[in-house]
Chains A and B, each alone.
Chain A
Amino acid sequence: MTTESQLVDYLLGRLRDPEAERLDEASLVDDAIASRLRAVENDLVDAYVRGTLRGETLARFEGHYLSSPVRRDNVAFARRFARAIDRASVATPAPAAPFVFAHRTMRKLSMAAAIVVAACSVALLREAARPGGGAAAGRPLSSVGAEGADIPRQTDLRAVRDAAPDGRRLPAARIEPPASPAAAAVALVLLPQTRAVGPVPALRVPLQTGRVTFELRLEGGERGTYVVALRDPSVNRLVWRTRATSTAGGALTVVVPASILRAQHYSLDLFADGAASDADVLGSYVFEIASR
């Protein structure tokens, strides 16, 4: 019996020759093994593009699996596929739980989320206020809530593409301006997007606010250099972007000029540094500006 772990080892070139040759043959001759191998490979590639591979497996994946153009094509496809799946799954509500349970649970979760977000935001503001910090000392957080606000709905996978008829290229203009130390600031911590349809973090931004600081927590504390762009879903366009920014402590700090924010939903889309198109988004952080 071939285990899933053996199949992963085979794909990563970790098996010894006799065992690898056995699987070479089985991958061609045995329909069951061929199907399982394909499923395991898809899951392995998906795990890579979702950033959940770790340690030696990640190293082997990058050192061995990605050495082939055919397999790099698989990864490129998986990236686009995962993005389409994620958008579609957000648009597909999970089966409804009984109302009382859902209501109580959501209220507790909302409160807990609000507390965590507020605590993190205060810490973020303090950090930003230090000399040399990215943002000036801000006024107290005006409002961070988790009142229910729906993520913009999409009906199916087709809608993912329909929603992007233009604006695919990362905007060259409106790159992050230098921060003004005197301006007031508010802050919000955004967690990695999950499949669950939960409340969208909402932020109240007073008119005198100069900029809004977001801390984007990366899944699994991933490290690297990224570009973050602000998407206006009402026109489905990227309206502002940062320069290449490196992670610190598994998060990215993004300072958005408050002047470009209106009372509506937005998403901060994450791209690899050097991405040429907004089709290559690695992740999206949805939030709502509750009022200005």
Chain B
Amino acid sequence: MLVSTQQVLREEPLLTQIAFSRLLAWLDDGLESHGERYLEMRRRLVAYFDRRGRSNADELADETLTRIARTLEQDGHIETTPPARYCYVVARFVLLEDFRREKRHGRLGTVWHIEQTHAAAAAPTAADREDRLDCLDRCLDELTADQRALIVEYYAETRRQGIDRRRSLASRLGITMNALAIRACRIRDTLQACIERCRRAPKASGPAVLSRWTGNPR
């Protein structure tokens, strides 16, 4: 019987609470991040699998973290440091296995991929657009005035004058250009993540999610 990658991954049992707690603590590596480190690593893993052409990047990122959590649950610790390096090692195995799986079950994998591509290419409905606008509205509302001012100035122009303005902004804030870029990216990422969560979650939960990860309680 042929099975798709999706089905193979879904057969794995769910993580226990203990395993997930250990995973969060291990990723924090001694510094309490309230789950931010987990979200950041998951985002990096999704981007990694996506850049390697995997259409199921989300699933593979979860699979990577699940394997690490199980190891932590069984062994209590992982020698390799820093944690991100171990994540990369496991991610490579997961990637190779997915390549092999695709080769073995290529026909169904292809069908699945085509279905996904079509689904992704389908034009969003008016309701989708409304949801996105509502979520953008609510998530923007969660930003502080300083955060809004920063991203407006940082992203307003991307060409030469934009670079000069970014330099001037960094100077005014007393931080390096690199630190400014990280700050701006973080706000943008949290905004984007907030919108995604808002779209998936019941209507009232978007802002609460953003507050949690931006550290700006209302």
Interface residues of A, Cβ cutoff 8 Å to B: 10-11, 13, 24-25, 27-29, 31-32, 34-36, 38-39, 42-43, 46-47, 50, 52, 68-72, 74, 77, 80-82, 84-86, 88-89, 92, 156-158, 160-161, 164, 168-169, 195, 274, 276-277, 279-280
Contacts and interface: CB of A to CB of B under 8 A. Distances in A.
A261 B181 CA distance: 44
A157 B158 CA distance: 19
Contacts of B111: none
A87 to B, nearest CB: 10
B88 A25 contact: yes
Nearest to A94: B165
Contact of A84 (B48, B53, B123, B140): B140
A28 B84 contact: yes
Contacts of B116: 69
Contact of A27 (B47, B152, B195): B47
A35 B195 contact: no
A29 B44 CA distance: 9
B103 interface: no
B57 interface: yes
Nearest to B82: A29
B136 interface: yes
A158 B137 contact: yes
Contacts of B192: 74, 77, 81
A112 to B, nearest CB: 19
Contacts of A161: 133, 136-137, 140
A47 B158 CA distance: 7
B151 A85 contact: yes
B10 interface: no
A28 B87 contact: yes
B184 interface: yes
B189 interface: yes
B195 A89 contact: no
B99 interface: no
B192 to A, nearest CB: 5
14 contacts: A24-B88, A28-B84, A35-B181, A42-B185, A46-B158, A52-B159, A68-B55, A69-B117, A85-B155, A85-B156, A156-B145, A158-B141, A195-B157, A279-B133
Chain A interface, DSSP helix/strand/loop, else mixed: helix
Given A89-B152, A92-B152, A29 B123 contact: no
Given A28-B88, A29-B85, A52-B159, A157 B48 contact: no
A158 B140 contact: yes
Contacts of A274: 123
B166 to A, nearest CB: 10
A77 B195 contact: yes
B218 interface: no
Nearest to B138: A161
A28 B159 contact: no
Contacts of A156: 145, 148
B45 A36 contact: no
Contacts of A36: 178, 181
Nearest to A82: B155
B198 interface: no
Given A43-B158, A72-B120, A88 B133 contact: no
B143 interface: yes
A246 B129 CA distance: 26
A89 B191 contact: no
A164 B153 CA distance: 23
A34 B182 CA distance: 10
A46 B82 CA distance: 33
Kindly name the residue among A25, A71, A74, A169 whose own CB sees the greatest number of chain B CB atoms within 10 A: A25
Given A46-B158, A69-B55, A71-B50, A277 B136 contact: no
Kindly name the residue among A29, A43, A52, A280 whose own CB sees the greatest number of chain B CB atoms within 10 A: A29
Nearest to B177: A39
Nearest to A162: B137
Contacts of B153: 89, 92
A70 B152 contact: no
B48 A169 contact: no
Contacts of B130: 168
Contacts of B55: 68-69
Given A72-B120, A195-B157, A277-B129, A88 B152 contact: yes
Contact of A157 (B44, B45, B148, B189): B148
